[in-house]
Amino acid sequence: MTAFPALPPLRDVIARHGLDTRRSLGQHFLLDLNLTDRIARIAGDLAGVSVIEVGPGPGGLTRSLLEAGASRVVAVEKDPRCIGAIAELAAAFPERLEIIEADALEVDARDLAPAPRKIVANLPFNVATPLLLQWLRDARDFAQLTLMFQKEVADRLVAEAHTSAYGRLSIMAQWLCQVRRDFNVDARAFVPPPRVASTVVTLVPRDQPLAPAERPLLETVTAAAFGQRRKMLRRSLRPLGIDPVSADIDPTLRAEDLSVEDFCHLARVLAEHRNQEPG
Ligand code: SAM
């Protein structure tokens, strides 16, 4: 069995580095190492894998990832106060933890580590959705993403058709990835507790998207359909100049009645329509 270096309690790390939490940085720390170990286990086999962690904070999840056997962890942290705390961890795990002080929104995660790469993070809620959308642009460059979101975002990611949570985020995520809810986390597990519950979600990028479609056109049809989600498709898709009937879709349905494959079909109809337009 591997012997891990004795590490100080996270509360001591927080006190020594003066990490009083800042809401503007979405700082809600996980101090329960059983919980961070559970997240690391969900990340699967980490041997030979580079793990990118956004927002290590005082380093609870980072410890769990290293102890779970991650060959290499690259931790991207925006708050300079956390860098010293994480540097102590890097010293305890020589050659295995790299620290990047940066805004994760301004970094191309693919440049941080070679494939195979996984992203594992307790994400800052204020930038969680933009970060995910950024990673989904190159989804196949990641083997897996295991991420903590606020529960309402997780509900949207896993939502099925005919539900109120189903929308553009569900479609883009499920088109590109297999998405599963791992477990919900009570707000009291965090220091300080956020106002809402959280959920760990795993996304495994597909080798091929669920159905053929050009991404910008899929985004266009879903934006039009869900932009007026109470309206029938006949009406909501009219500004695009396409008729659902030409895609064999009942025009009296509403956006949330369509599957991901139906939206891909509409995106292909829109592509044809645009190709036929003069000029
Ligand atoms: N991983 C730690 C844990 O589980 O206890 C901290 C998670 S806390 C929810 C989010 C972390 O992301 C904070 O450490 C915060 O400073 C950092 N953060 C916030 N915005 C960021 C950004 N744009 N880029 C990188 N890190 C960011």
Average predicted confidence (pLDDT) for the chain: 96
pLDDT at 2: 63
Residue nearest to atom 21 of ligand 1 (CA): 78
147: Cβ contacts below 8 Å, ≥ 6 apart: 119, 120, 121, 123, 128, 132, 200, 201, 202, 203
Residue nearest to atom 17 of ligand 1 (CA): 55
pLDDT digit string, tens, across residues 67-84: 999 999 999 999 999 999
Residue 273 has pLDDT above 70, yes or no: yes
Given a cut of 80, whether residue 278 has pLDDT beyond it is no
pLDDT in tens, 177-229: 999 999 999 999 999 999 999 999 999 999 999 999 999 999 999 999 999 99
Residue nearest to atom 8 of ligand 1 (CA): 27
Looking at the CA of residue 31, tell me the nearest atom of ligand 1.
5
Q: From the CB of 194, is ligand 1 less than 6 Å away?
A: no
Best of 78, 97, 150 for a ligand 1 pocket test (most atoms within 8 Å of beta carbon): 78
**257-260 long-range contacts, Cβ below 8 Å, gap at least 24?**
257/161, 257/162, 258/161, 258/225, 258/233, 259/161, 260/170, 260/171, 260/174, 260/175, 260/210, 260/211
6 pLDDT band, cuts 50/70/90, is confident
pLDDT, position 279? 60
Tokens of 103: 């805004």
Residue 4 has pLDDT above 90, yes or no: no
Average pLDDT over residues 255-276: 96
Split at pLDDT 50, 70, 90, the class of 126 is: very high
For the cut 70, the answer to whether the pLDDT of residue 12 exceeds it is: yes
Check if 124 has its Cβ closer than 6 Å to any atom of ligand 1. yes
Average pLDDT over residues 140-164: 98
Is the pLDDT at 115 greater than 90, yes or no? yes
Q: Is the CB of 55 under 6 A from ligand 1?
A: yes
Q: Show the domains of the chain with their CATH numbers.
A: 10-205 (3.40.50.150), 215-274 (1.10.8.100)
Residue 28 near ligand 1, beta carbon < 6 Å: yes
Establish whether residue 127 lines the binding site of ligand 1, counting it when its CB lies within 6 angstroms of any ligand atom. Answer: yes
Nearest CA to ligand 1 atom 1: 56
Cβ of residue 103 lying under 6 Å from some atom of ligand 1: yes
The response to whether residue 56 sits with its C-beta less than 6 Å from ligand 1 reads yes
Residue nearest to atom 10 of ligand 1 (CA): 124
Helix (H, G, I), strand (E, B) or coil at 98: strand
CA of 138 to the centre of ligand 1 (A): 22
Question: Residue 78 Cα, ligand 1 centroid: separation in angstroms?
Answer: 7
* Residue having the nearest C-alpha atom to atom 11 of ligand 1: 55
Task: Determine the Cα–Cα distance for residues 13 and 81; give it in Å rounded to an integer.
Answer: 11
Q: Is the pLDDT of residue 277 over 90?
A: no
Q: 124: closest CA among 65, 190, 170, 172?
A: 190
- Over range 131-152, report the average pLDDT: 98
Q: How far is the CA of 54 from the centre of ligand 1 (A)?
A: 6
CA 212 – ligand 1 centroid, Å: 35
Atom of ligand 1 nearest to the CA of 56: 1
